[in-house]
Structure 1
Amino acid sequence: MDVWSEIFNFSDYAELLPLLKNSIIACVVLGIMGGMIGVFVMMRDMAFAVHGVSELSFAGAAVSLLLGTSVVTGSLIGSLVAALLIGVLGSRARDRNSVTAVLMPFGLGLGILCLGLYHGRAANKFGLLTGQIVAIDDPQIKSLIIISSVVAIGLVVVWRPLLFASADADVAAARGVPVGLMSIVFMILLGLAVAVSVQIVGALLVLSLLVTPAAAALRVSASPLVVPLLSTAFALTASVGGILLAAGSSVPISPYITSISFAIYLVCRMIAAPRQRRRTSAPVTA
């Protein structure tokens, strides 16, 4: 019973909620950005790459924490380096997975080394792995809004050619779309998105915002208009719902966000299951 009271305890909820204004704003911003970019992550089959970028982002943040410099800047540098390496060296899916698999243990190992050498607050170290949204301050929320806005505006500007290149790169190239440039631009935007997400949900759980909502949306629709809207709605539900539940407990926000995201995904799979069965059982006509 004590365990449940730590997970769900709303006795002081009314007093705590006004203190989470920055956290709620951060969740809304991340939900919108994560829902938008997650569609392209799934279309380009780059869920594994997101995890690789997050590990280098974690390493950059850990190095900055050890050196006493800006954690946000370190996270951004780590993310962008990883994103550009994956984008340049991994033009094909197999190469991309290989580069990602090489970067992941290096980033994680470097980050753990720096955290082991860091003798400051343990909460700072733990937050890089699992997030610390309840401790977000005004400078952090400003940088988060600025970077997320850059990502969202960048996606809007390149949405049509990027969508075409993600759906069928060969046909897009034949039609004159600069597929290589679109790949680099997307990886830069992805690096920025991962960097700000790591600051909130942590390096280990960033997939819950940048992958799971879009994966759920693609289960129930294939429309190029409906999928981004559903993905954004799912990401907002998970992020905002997570902070609202975490406000009434002593548990970090990350388990709530990941659990809500997973529950949405399961519901979407169940909704799509009958349609999938009908499709596979339909007779093939000559």
Structure 2
Amino acid sequence: MTYTAWILLTASLVGLSCGIIGVFLILRRMAMMADAISHTVLLGIVTAYLITRELSGVHMLVGAIIAGLLTAVLVQWFHSRGVQQDASIGVVFTTLFAIGVILIATQVGNVHLDVQHALMGEITFLPWNTIHLPVIGDIPKATLMLIVVFLVVLAFIIAFYKEWKITTFDAGLAASLGIPVVLMHYVFMTLVSITTVASFDAVGAIMVVAMLITPAAAAYLWTDRLSVMLVLSGAFGVISAIGGYYLAVWIDTSISGSMAFSTGILFLVSFIFSPNHGLMSRVVKPYTTTE
């Protein structure tokens, strides 16, 4: 594959994985949790590096997952003790992210791990950091990790589709049916953490947040069916990734920033033209009703 093709494939995998996971974040009204986890995984990555002194490997994934779960546990713990959920998220993620930034500034030193890299990523370098696989040949490490994560996420969504659906829309009913609601919640948070850290090195925190929230929010405007929403959200993520890349090439700017901007454009189009919830439908409906 060409250099451009690897970048497009990697970014599309980010859009696809984040788009699918983002649907459940939107429906569970946990959109800000995506922002929180996408920032607090920095603490897990830095801690894993400080322990191993290596910038790649499974330990990075483990560290990020632990940081993501720690975020979810702390938010839930504060919320259960009377703190509003949005306030809990704000306190936890800013504190943990700040600790990660301080550790980078004071402990990491001259390593390819800094706040700018954490926020924006560097997708243009990915095709050069490869691993050789039998039959397949050389493949970028980030792309391989994203392929594995996408398959894991897809397998969990399909295998427990009914459970995800019930716990998302009616947790009380799910509990009465014997579904372990709390366990499902933390499994979901684990999936969010895995998806976030797999995307983190490639595209940075800003695009991860954009891909987790905006395609799902756009898909929500087009349909009321969960299965269709999952497909649309994943498709919107891929379209944003590809469109954002060519926009960045055209105006010579940040690729990740352009991809995040493309998600906003897609949402704006959906907000205006979606048949049920769009701005145009609200203008047209009164006239059709009168006629």
TM-score tier (shorter): 0.7 to 0.9
Q: CA deviation at 1:174?
A: 2.2
Match of 1:126 in 2: 116
CA distance in 2, matches of 1:86, 1:223: 27
Contact 1:88 1:184 in 2 (8 A): no
CA contact (8 A) 2:75 2:89 kept: no
Q: Distance in 2 between matches of 1:85 and 1:122?
A: 25
Q: Corresponding residue for 1:158?
A: 160
Deviation at 1:172, TM superposition (A): 2.2
Report what 1:81 is aligned to. 67
Q: How has the CA–CA distance of structure 1 residues 110 and 89 changed in structure 2, closer, same or farther, with 3 Å as cutoff?
A: closer
Matched, 1:115 2:104: yes
* Contact 2:10–2:143, Cα closer than 8 Å, also in 1: yes
Give the equivalent residue in structure 2 for 1:8: none
- Cα deviation, residue 100, structure 1: 2.1
Determine if the alignment matches structure 1 residue 235 to structure 2 residue 237: yes
Output the CA distance in 2 between the equivalents of 1:212 and 1:36: 11
Q: Which whole-Å deviations, capped at 9, do the CAs of 1:119-147 have from their partners, x for residues lacking one?
A: 32678552211111111122232222222
1:89 CA drift (Å): 5.4
* 8 A Cα contact 2:104 2:113, kept in partner: no
- Residue 185 of structure 1, aligned match among 169, 184, 187: 187
Partner SS for 1:211:
helix
Counterparts in 2 of 1:62 and 1:247: CA distance versus 1, 3 Å? farther
Change (3 A) 1:128 1:101: same
Report the Cα distance in structure 2 between the residues aligned to 1:87 and 1:251, rounded to whole angstroms.
38
Moved more, 29-38 or 246-255: 246-255
Distance in 2 (alpha carbons) for counterparts of 1:278 and 1:84? 48
- 8 Å CA contact 1:238–1:261 kept in 2: the answer is yes
Q: Distance in 1 between matches of 2:201 and 2:84?
A: 28
| Structure 2 counterparts to residues 258-273 of structure 1, below 5 A | 258-271=260-273, 272-273=278-279
Q: TM-score, normalised by structure 2?
A: 0.80
What are the superposed Cα offsets for residues 237-271 of structure 1, whole Å, 9 maximum, x if unpaired? 11122223334564221211111100111111112
| TM-score relative to the length of structure 1 | 0.81
CA-atom RMSD in angstroms: 3.0
Residues 86 and 99 in structure 1, CA contact (< 8 A), matched pair in contact too = no
Q: Is structure 2 residue 217 aligned with structure 1 residue 211?
A: no
| Unaligned segments of structure 1, at least 5 residues | 1-16
Residues 1:253 and 1:131: Cα distance change in structure 2 (over 3 Å): same
1:190-225 superposed Cα distances (whole Å, 9 cap, x missing partner) = 111111122222123321111100001101211122
Of 216, 224, 227, the residue aligned with 1:225 is 227
In structure 2, do the counterparts of structure 1 residues 246 and 66 end up closer, same or farther at CA, with 3 Å as the change threshold? farther
**Is 2:79 aligned against 1:90?**
no
CA distance in 1, matches of 2:237, 2:250: 21
The 2-side partners of 1:79 and 1:101 are apart by: 19
Secondary structure in structure 2 of the residue aligned to 1:52: helix
**Alignment partners' CA distance in 1, 2:21 and 2:65:** 15
Q: 1:18 — aligned with what?
A: 2
CA distance in structure 2 between the partners assigned to 1:276 and 1:174 by the alignment? 39
Q: Secondary structure at the match of 1:172?
A: helix
- Distance in 1, Cα, partners of 2:182 & 2:153: 19
Tell whether 2:90 aligns with 1:101: yes
CA distance in 1, matches of 2:200, 2:213: 14
**What corresponds to 1:135 in structure 2?**
125
| Residues 1:58 and 2:48 are matched in the alignment | no
Is the CA contact (8 Å cut-off) linking 1:62 and 1:114 kept in structure 2? yes
Which residue of the partner structure matches residue 49 of structure 1?
33
Structure 2, unmatched stretches of 5+, are 130-139
How far the C-alpha of 1:155 sits from its partner, in A, is 1.8
- Write the distance in 2 (CA, Å) between the matches of 1:280 and 1:83: 48
The answer to whether the 8 A contact 2:71-2:93 is kept is: no
**Percent of residue pairs bearing the same amino acid type:** 23
